[in-house]
Amino acid sequence: MTAVLVKELIEAGVHFGHRASRWNPKMRPYIYARRNLIHVIDVRETIRGFLRARKYLRQVAAGGSLVLFVGTKRQASETVEQQATRCGMPFVSDRWLGGTLTNFRTIRSRLTRLEELESLRASDEIDTYSKKMQSALAREYRKMYRNLNGIRTMNRLPDCVVVVDPKKEKNAIREARKLGITTVALIDTDCDPDVVDYKIPGNDDAIRAIRLFCAAVADAVLEGKAVLEERAKASGGETPEEKPVVEAVVSQGEMA
């Protein structure tokens, strides 16, 4: 299994980091070598990160908790949306709204406005407005849909935030850390690994690498959900009480 994973990682170009001049010195333990001014990431560290993160994510999903996918950069946006949808989890793929986690109640109120606009567009009432007002409402709807559609099913705070490129998504990481929410991230050689709980060293710019990362995360969540369903069947079809996962699967020493 590990041999197959190594082959997939190499083919996806996960081991290619940034130019050596752009590196973060804290990433030194995860760098294997430097070739032609480019840092090469140690694939063994990538695999360790994958295994730890998958184990934790399975436990989170098995506990009935939410996992929020975040990836707003052009290379990651489509993949994040596809994989989050596949495993039935919320996502942010267009723009991170400040306060998405720390001001969650206000964000939920904006979702109510989005639903109002959708109801208006679906009814004949929209025809009673002037052309100018219809155009303004259409612009408001498109903007809100892009920003909020992915989290409309997030009726509570997530227990874990999965991020592609924590440097790009620094605001999401900052909010998660402030609330004590666990973070899992694909980190390149220019990132600060100290701000992430479960770090997976790898190329966070290559589309194939991002697809591999997001697919692995989604698979882990689906495996955890399958365990949850089995427990529900064993208990007579009742869904177990949802509770947050507050303990990590691996020790702090392993996560360091």
Tell me the per-residue pLDDT of 135-160, one tens digit each, with 9 for 90 and over.
Answer: 999 999 999 898 899 999 898 999 99
Per the structure, the count of domains in the chain is 2
Q: Residues 149, 165: one domain? A: no
Q: Residues 46, 83: one domain? A: yes
**In 10 A of CB 242, how many CB atoms?**
12
Tokens of 217: 């995360």
Tokens of 189: 């050689």
Q: Residues 197, 72: one domain? A: yes
Q: Residues 161, 66: one domain? A: yes
Q: CA 81, CA 94: separation in Å to the nearest integer?
A: 9
E strand or H helix at 198, and its extent? Answer: strand 198-201
Q: Residues 230, 119: one domain? A: no
Q: CA 147, CA 79: separation in Å to the nearest integer?
A: 16
Q: Residues 72, 87: one domain? A: yes
- Contacts of 144 by beta carbon, 8 Å cutoff, 6+ apart: 110, 113, 114, 117
Q: Residues 147, 22: one domain? A: no
Q: Residues 20, 90: one domain? A: yes
Q: Residues 65, 180: one domain? A: yes
Tell me the per-residue pLDDT of 158-183, one tens digit each, with 9 for 90 and over.
Answer: 999 999 999 999 999 999 999 999 99
Mean pLDDT to the nearest integer, 86-96: 94
Tokens 């710019």: give the residue: 205
H helices of 123-249, where? 131-148, 170-179, 207-234
Tokens of 242: 């949802």
The residue segments making up the domain with residue 140 are 102-155
Residue-averaged pLDDT of the chain: 87
- Return the CATH number at 115: 1.10.287
Strands 67-70 and 160-164: parallel
Tell me the per-residue pLDDT of 203-247, one tens digit each, with 9 for 90 and over.
Answer: 989 899 999 999 999 999 999 999 998 888 887 765 544 444 333
- Which whole-number Å values give the CA distances from 12 to 105, 186, 213, in the listed order? 39, 14, 10
- Its pTM stands at 0.84
Is residue 252's pLDDT more than 80?
no
**In 10 A of CB 59, how many CB atoms?**
19
